Amino acid sequence: MKRILVLCTGNSCRSQLAEGYLRHFAKNKAEIYSAGVETHGVNPRAIATMQEDGIDISGHTSNNMEEYRDIDFDYVITVCDNAKERCPYFPGKALKFHYNFPDPAKATGSEEVIMEQFRLVRKQIKQYCSDFIQQHIS
């Protein structure tokens, strides 16, 4: 079974959304992990926006990439430039992929404006994850 690690800065938004969608699209064909170069806790708006799309990530935890050093990953996906720059060396055969998604946690304005930013990023991550699974796992 393939193992996929999604890395972000704080493992609170983008990597959590990606973990949720990768699990959804991969079904039982891959083990999905997410982590951050830091840990900031799972953002409640990330949970809410995924719930809107029928995916429950409320049980996810915010993990540090150091926790997964001993796992032999097949794929490492960085979802922000900061994580790509700070991504540690993972021994083994892991293929690295990168896409710099906007950080919805930095959105400002009314609650509706902020949630629209989360929905926009969710849509981008959903498409990326669907494509990734089709190309590399299915």
Mean pLDDT of the region 43-64: 97
Tell me, what's the pLDDT at 94?
A: 87
Measured distance CA(119)–CA(138) in Å, rounded: 26
DSSP string, 43-112: -HHHHHHHHHTT---TT----BGGGGTTS--SEEEE-SHHHHHHPPP--SS-EEEE-----GGG--SSHH
* 133 bridge partner residues: none
Tell me, what's the pLDDT at 138?
A: 77
Residue range 87-102, pLDDT digits in tens? 555 556 889 999 999 9
**Active-site residue list:** 8, 80, 87
Flag whether pLDDT at 86 surpasses 70: no
The CATH fold of domain 2-136 = Rossmann fold (3.40.50)
Tell me, what's the pLDDT at 115?
A: 98
Mean pLDDT of the region 61-67: 93
CB atoms within 10 A of CB 90: 17
Domain boundaries, the chain: 2-136
pLDDT band at 69 (very low <50, low <70, confident <90, very high): confident
Residue range 2-44, pLDDT digits in tens? 999 999 988 999 999 999 999 999 999 999 999 998 898 999 9
Mean pLDDT across the chain, nearest whole number?
92
The CA–CA distances, whole Å, from 95 to 25, 77, 89, 91, 121 equal 19, 8, 11, 11, 24
Measured distance CA(103)–CA(122) in Å, rounded: 11
More confident residue, 38 or 118: 118
